[in-house]
A and B are shown apart, each in its own frame.
Chain A
Amino acid sequence: MNVSLDKQYLPSERYKRHAAYLAVLAVVIIGLCSYFKFEPLLFISDFHYMADLVVEMTPPNFEVLWRKEKIFASILQTLSMAFLGTLAGGAVAMGLAFLAARNTTPHPAVGAVIRTLLAIERVIPSLVILLLFLIAVGLGPFAGMLSLAVGTIGMFGKLFANAIEGAEKEPIDAVHSVGASKLQVIRYAVIPQVLPSFIANLFYAFDINLRAAIGLGVFGGAGVGYEISMAMRLVRYRDALALICFTILLVFAVEKLSDWLRSRALGQDLLK
């Protein structure tokens, strides 16, 4: 036999390499835990604080849900923050992705600038962005929606650009070969390839943004998150638990709905 595997491709070598990576990872984890004095045992020994809180929270006071009709308005607020934030952020992210991706950018310099901006934007914590918008547009759901939109752009702009760069080259060649212009190539060869992943990711972004909207509400003074934090601060733990239960149920229902919509939007296999 005159073909031989390079040493690095031998299965045994690959196994050794992977084992070495795992060993390094284990050392890092143990080192970090001991340096920061993370003690898993503490969690068990201090558990009674947690238990006390649970006792004070039960039974949940579901009455609060219909006593204050404001609650439903606040839930609607949270949902719309997430929905509009995802939509606005997703739309901008898609536009920027086509400008950023190496195979669709109008000019390499434009692509490089946008990729850099997206990278910078991604490292700004979302709470900082929220604070900026609170100053700009004041307390309320609009600031929350804007900061969710900006977060979505940072996270999904890069993801979308990667999806575009991963599009198959052959159909793109073919559409070029009939004399189509760059925009036509994007419309007929690139978008059909990347649209399913865009849609799937937007649903995913909505799931993330819905959770974030609850959290941001605590600081932004809007939505159901704000109501929960108020109940906690006023030591109305049983009200708080009722709101938390209801929120969990809601998130769960919305997630199911978005899963269903996503599978409808992505189409299914033709075979039975």
Chain B
Amino acid sequence: MGANTARLLSFQILARMIDVRQITKSTKEGVPILKGISFTVTKGEFVGILGPSGAGKTLTMRCLNGLTRPTSGEVLFTDHEHNLVNLTHARGRELRKARRQIGVIFQGFNLVKRLSAIDNVMIGQLGRINLLRSLVYGFTDDEARQALAVLEHLNVAHLAHRPVGSLSGGEQQRVAIARAIYQQPAVMLADEPIANLDPTNARKIMQILTPLAKEMPIIGVFHQPDLVMEFCTRIIALKEGVVVRDGDSKMTRSELVDLYGAELSEIEASQRILQPA
């Protein structure tokens, strides 16, 4: 093996930021939900995960950030210092350090409703700031200015000081996206980041995410095959806890029919009704 090949190989390993190896997850009663999911994601990718409701998309995302531990298999994460972290076994400080670099947009936003939008955004960097300062003093003026800039980027700066509980679903979604962006992660996991937005705004968010994906790979779960085909670089399809397709960002109609079954007509109907002019 020549020196060049070796360098090429090591480059490929480094570029592989998330390496999911045969993860399974079962309920306490032993019902399998994830049945051996594998894929790797490298720098520059914008991966769209598609699949019918209940396929295990959210559960897969939770395993990718260590919030849920798979029953078997493992998730490897290469951080920006090129350390390899096994998210399935990492605990305590090591897990927290890795999580700082993994931004998550949750399907249900998971914002702290009693706090203002801007406080929720600043929570994104809690993992990086001094513990004592964060407990006693809180955030700094500079942090607040930066957080406001991110909210501005998402067109919700005017809501910065409202308690999040009083925001609409779409507004909360933008705050949740702002939190993940403000975190400045190395990888972004987005579970249905545009589910609560109308098509025009959904497209705008995709336009915000796409350039971000150049710097940090994004793994997103979506229910809009058309937007995924337009913006993502790769589509992974999940069904009943199994990866049934992993490839480029073009899926034919018959593939979609296979994937979604009866659900497809609902998806298409909502897209027709909501098609922006």
- On A, residues with C-beta under 8 Å from B are 168, 170-171, 173-181, 183-184, 187-189, 192-193, 195-196, 270
The segment from B44-52, B92-100, B257-265 found at the interface with A is B92-100
B127 touches A174 (CB 8 A): no
A183 to B128, CA, bound (A): 14
List 6 A-B pairs, minimum CB-CB distance, nearest first. A179-B127, A174-B110, A179-B100, A179-B99, A180-B126, A192-B114
**Given A179-B96, A179-B99, A184-B131, is A171 in contact with B113 using a C-beta cutoff of 8 Å?**
yes
**Given A192-B114, A270-B166, is A177 in contact with B104 using a C-beta cutoff of 8 Å?**
yes
Nearest-neighbour CB distance to chain A for B175, whole angstroms, equals: 11
B115 touches A192 (CB 8 A): yes
| A residues near B134, Cβ cutoff 8 Å | 184, 187-188
Instruction: Pick the residue among A181, A192, A270 that contacts B112 (CB under 8 A).
Output: A192
Determine if B151 is an interface residue (Cβ-Cβ < 8 Å). no
Q: List 24 A-B contacts (CB under 8 A).
A: A170-B106, A171-B111, A173-B106, A173-B110, A174-B104, A174-B111, A175-B126, A178-B125, A178-B127, A178-B183, A179-B97, A179-B98, A179-B128, A183-B135, A184-B131, A187-B135, A188-B112, A189-B112, A192-B112, A192-B114, A192-B115, A193-B112, A193-B114, A270-B162
Known: A170-B109, A179-B127. 19 other contacts (CB 8 A): A168-B113, A171-B113, A173-B67, A173-B106, A173-B110, A174-B104, A176-B99, A177-B67, A177-B104, A177-B106, A179-B126, A179-B128, A180-B96, A180-B126, A180-B127, A181-B131, A183-B131, A189-B112, A192-B112
- On B, residues with C-beta under 8 Å from A are 65, 67, 95-104, 106, 108-115, 119, 123-128, 131, 134-135, 162-163, 166, 179, 183
Most B CB atoms within 10 A — which of A177, A181, A187, A196?
Answer: A177
A270 to B98, CA, bound (A): 39
A84 to B104, CA, bound (A): 45
**Prevailing SS type, chain A contact patch:** helix
Q: How many A-B residue pairs have CB under 8 A?
A: 84
Q: Kindly report which residue of chain A lies nearest to residue B101, judged by CB atoms.
A: A179
Instruction: Pick the residue among B114, B119, B131 that contacts A195 (CB under 8 A).
Output: B114
A187 to B162, CA, bound (A): 19
| A residues near B98, Cβ cutoff 8 Å | 179
Nearest-neighbour CB distance to chain A for B119, whole angstroms, equals: 8
| A residues near B111, Cβ cutoff 8 Å | 171, 174
B102 touches A181 (CB 8 A): no
Q: Kindly report which residue of chain B lies nearest to residue A190, judged by CB atoms.
A: B112
| A residues near B99, Cβ cutoff 8 Å | 176-179
Nearest-neighbour CB distance to chain A for B193, whole angstroms, equals: 14
B127 touches A170 (CB 8 A): no
Most B CB atoms within 10 A — which of A170, A180, A181?
Answer: A180
Q: Kindly report which residue of chain B lies nearest to residue A171, judged by CB atoms.
A: B112
